């Protein structure tokens, strides 16, 4: 992995952990997610206009189909993630979601994109998965196991959606040379349309979200697309089986934020377990 790609991935990780911290604070539902999409498309519209003025194609058939499929997968991701944040700790849901995704991404990249399987990649992946399992801290003797189980369930399902949309979008970027920024904005546009019938009856909730969380919505609308665009840009220069797991350095930040900001339990143990994940990321970066 080159220094340029590593910089893209690490920057994306910081942005991603930051907007998830904000999302956890709001515990928002569908109207909150819809407002994110609307605000994001408005804020990034000048960049789209700039690309158009530079002669970049803003429409193609692959863009249409990949952005549609990506929008469905991203909606599933956001809905399950927000529900997880309403029912469990950030330091459980976030690392498990981010840590389980590389397993699926890694397998699909090897099987369908024919990327090379290396010993360092396998070792790195095993370290990541082991670290995530330790972070969850599941024990049948604990009274709060129901909360932990909720975190595990929502985390794993979220991770599945992450892996699926990452593979979908990597295919669009690597095989069909779709612009990362245009793909992200098109995905957000279709997501907003798909959610529209569900948010129209919730006008009171929309007004409440705008009144209470307008600045958080704007912040997430900036950070979330930026984080993902950087990841897609990295995919232009490095294999999916390396980029997808390496971006999960954000797990360290997520666990730290959960322990410090929300005073979640077992913060020290979860941070120590995160060292395994760092080791896994280092192994993957050497692939």
pTM: 0.81
- pLDDT of 257 > 50? The answer is yes
- Mean pLDDT over residues 173-184, rounded? 90
pLDDT in tens, 12-49: 989 998 998 898 888 788 999 999 999 999 999 998 88
The pLDDT of residue 56 is: 66
Rounded Cα–Cα distance for residues 24 and 82 (Å): 7
- pLDDT of 140 > 60? The answer is no
| pLDDT band, very low/low/confident/very high, at 74 (cuts 50, 70, 90) | very high
Give the number of domains in the chain: 1
**Domain of residue 32, residue span:** 3-285
- pLDDT of 134 > 80? The answer is no
The pLDDT of residue 198 is: 92
Rounded Cα–Cα distance for residues 224 and 254 (Å): 15
Position with higher pLDDT, 135 vs 69: 69
Per-chain mean pLDDT for the chain: 83
Rounded Cα–Cα distance for residues 276 and 271 (Å): 10
Cα angle: 226, vertex 3, 185; to 5 degrees: 20
Q: What percent of the chain has pLDDT over 90?
A: 36
| pLDDT band, very low/low/confident/very high, at 281 (cuts 50, 70, 90) | low
Query: Smallest Cα–Cα separation from 74: which of 166, 150, 140, 1?
Result: 166
- pLDDT of 139 > 60? The answer is no
| pLDDT band, very low/low/confident/very high, at 217 (cuts 50, 70, 90) | very high
The CA distances from residue 234 to 24, 98, 119, in Å, are 27, 17, 22
| pLDDT band, very low/low/confident/very high, at 73 (cuts 50, 70, 90) | very high
């Amino acid at each position: 992995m080159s220094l340029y790609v590593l910089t893209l991935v690490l920057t994306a990780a910081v942005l991603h952990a930051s907007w998830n911290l904000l999302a956890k604070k709001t515990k928002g539902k569908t109207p909150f997610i819809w407002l994110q999409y609307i605000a994001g498309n408005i804020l990034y519209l000048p960049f789209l206009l700039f690309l158009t003025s530079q002669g970049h194609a803003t429409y193609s058939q692959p863009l249409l189909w990949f952005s549609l499929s990506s929008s469905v997968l991203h909606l599933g991701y956001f809905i399950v993630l927000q529900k997880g944040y309403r029912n469990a700790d950030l330091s459980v849901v976030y690392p498990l979601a981010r840590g389980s995704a590389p397993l699926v991404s890694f397998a699909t990249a090897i099987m369908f994109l024919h990327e090379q399987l290396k010993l360092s990649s396998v070792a790195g992946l095993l370290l990541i998965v082991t670290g995530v399992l330790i972070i969850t801290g599941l024990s049948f003797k604990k009274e709060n196991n129901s909360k932990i189980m909720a975190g595990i369930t929502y985390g794993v399902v979220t991770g599945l959606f992450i892996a699926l949309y990452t593979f979908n979008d990597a295919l669009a970027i690597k095989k069909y040379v779709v612009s990362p920024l245009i793909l992200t904005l098109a995905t957000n546009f279709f997501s907003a349309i798909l959610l529209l019938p569900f948010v129209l009856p919730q006008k009171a909730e929309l007004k409440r979200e705008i009144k209470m969380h307008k600045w958080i919505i704007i912040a997430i609308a900036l950070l979330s697309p930026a984080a993902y665009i950087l990841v897609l840009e990295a995919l232009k220069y490095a294999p999916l089986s390396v980029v997808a797991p390496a971006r999960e350095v954000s797990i360290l930040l997520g666990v730290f934020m959960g322990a410090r900001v929300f005073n979640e339990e077992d913060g020290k143990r979860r941070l120590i377990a995160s060292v395994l994940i760092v080791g896994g990321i280092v192994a993957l970066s050497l692939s």
